[in-house]
């Protein structure tokens, strides 16, 4: 009887460990097709209607587009549903900052999910956290300026890109820079999963790259003069066929916490 009891107890422990492991994975909720988690707001479902309702052009120093937003609603080449193309004619030739779009909702700490599909070789765009810090979207490049890099600062831990013509996803937890009495006391930090694989874990971001045309504070002390100003999630137009869908955001409060999840 004792032996049977021990076997039953061991099985119970193994089942419990399995469930804990399963919960941890499902709790992260990452990867292509992940729906908005509890408390999140869907920002882009692939329709022009939601695009116009929740986004606006970022009217930085290089802005040259005209309202309303010209990013087109197109047919999702994989599912036949809807997607939004970043190929705004005003950004032809890689003119970033000319027709970038940013959420009307401004953010500090947040969780975000972004799905993108690159249709042609060399397709280029970018996801900007707080309209400052770029997570690169670029086919055919793996490096500090390549796919999934925290641009110019952190190389992803592994290559997880699904390739041309396939949907990819970034799952992001971002913690804004902290200030005391107007002075920067903690750099912004981020954790990112790329197609379900953790590629950046609670890494610090030192500055805004790309100059004043790239986003908020880009022209402030060479990008090092970060200010305590909330900013939206921005998607970059570079005149390339990069599609977006299923973008959602949840506000967080990460005081005293890591971005890891």
* Distance separating alpha carbons of residues 49 and 208, to the nearest angstrom: 31
pLDDT value for 22: 34
What is the mean pLDDT of the segment spanning 44-51?
A: 98
Q: What is the DSSP-derived secondary structure letter of residue 105? A: S
Q: What is the DSSP-derived secondary structure letter of residue 231? A: B
Going by pLDDT thresholds of 50, 70 and 90, the confidence category of residue 28 is low
Sequence-distant (≥ 6) Cβ neighbours of residue 196 within 8 angstroms: 30, 31, 32, 160, 169, 171
Nearest to 116 by CA among 32, 193, 42: 32
* Distance separating alpha carbons of residues 31 and 44, to the nearest angstrom: 16
Lowest mean pLDDT among 19-23, 88-92, 104-108: 19-23
Residue with tokens 């399995």: 18
Instruction: Give me the phi and psi of 222, to 5 degrees please.
Output: 65, 25
3-state class of 10 per DSSP? helix
* Distance separating alpha carbons of residues 91 and 87, to the nearest angstrom: 7
Residue with tokens 């280029």: 124
> Dmax of the chain from CA atoms?
80
Both structure tokens of 79: 């599912």
Mean pLDDT of the chain: 91
* Distance separating alpha carbons of residues 11 and 2, to the nearest angstrom: 14
Tell which wins on pLDDT, 91 or 18: 91
Q: In this structure, are residues 123 and 146 in contact, taking their beta carbons and an 8 Å threshold? A: no
What is the mean pLDDT of the segment spanning 230-245?
A: 98
Q: In this structure, are residues 92 and 84 in contact, taking their beta carbons and an 8 Å threshold? A: no
pLDDT in tens, 65-93: 999 999 999 999 999 999 999 999 999 99
pLDDT in tens, 185-220: 999 999 999 999 999 999 999 999 999 999 999 999
pLDDT value for 16: 40
Nearest to 197 by CA among 231, 227, 162, 228: 162
| Dihedral (Cα; 214, 216, 219, 223), 10-degree rounding | -90
What is the mean pLDDT of the segment spanning 13-20?
A: 37
């Amino acid at each position: 009887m004792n032996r049977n009891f021990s076997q039953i107890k061991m099985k119970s422990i193994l089942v419990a460990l399995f469930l804990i492991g399963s919960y941890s994975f499902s709790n992260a909720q990452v990867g292509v097709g992940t729906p908005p988690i509890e408390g999140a707001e869907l920002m882009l479902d692939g329709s022009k209607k939601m695009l116009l309702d929740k986004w606006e052009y970022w009217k930085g120093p290089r802005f040259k587009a005209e309202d309303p937003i010209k990013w087109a609603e197109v047919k999702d080449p994989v599912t036949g549903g809807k997607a939004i193309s970043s190929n705004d004619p005003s950004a032809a030739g890689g003119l970033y900052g000319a027709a970038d779009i940013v959420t009307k909702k401004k953010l500090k700490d947040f969780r975000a999910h972004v799905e993108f599909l690159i249709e042609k070789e060399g397709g280029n765009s970018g996801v900007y956290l707080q309209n400052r810090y770029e997570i690169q979207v670029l086919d055919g490049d793996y490096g500090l300026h390549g796919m999934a890099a925290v641009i110019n600062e952190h190389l992803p831990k592994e290559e997880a890109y699904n390739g041309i013509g396939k949907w990819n996803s970034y799952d992001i937890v971002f913690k804004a820079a902290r200030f005391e009495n107007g002075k920067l006391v903690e750099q912004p930090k981020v954790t990112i999963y790329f197609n379900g694989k953790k590629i950046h874990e609670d890494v610090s971001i030192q500055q805004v790259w790309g100059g004043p045309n790239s986003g908020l504070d880009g022209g402030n002390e060479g990008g090092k003069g970060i200010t305590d100003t909330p900013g939206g999630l921005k998607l970059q137009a570079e005149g390339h066929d990069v599609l977006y869908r299923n973008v959602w955001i949840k506000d967080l409060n990460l005081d005293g916490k890591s971005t890891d999840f």
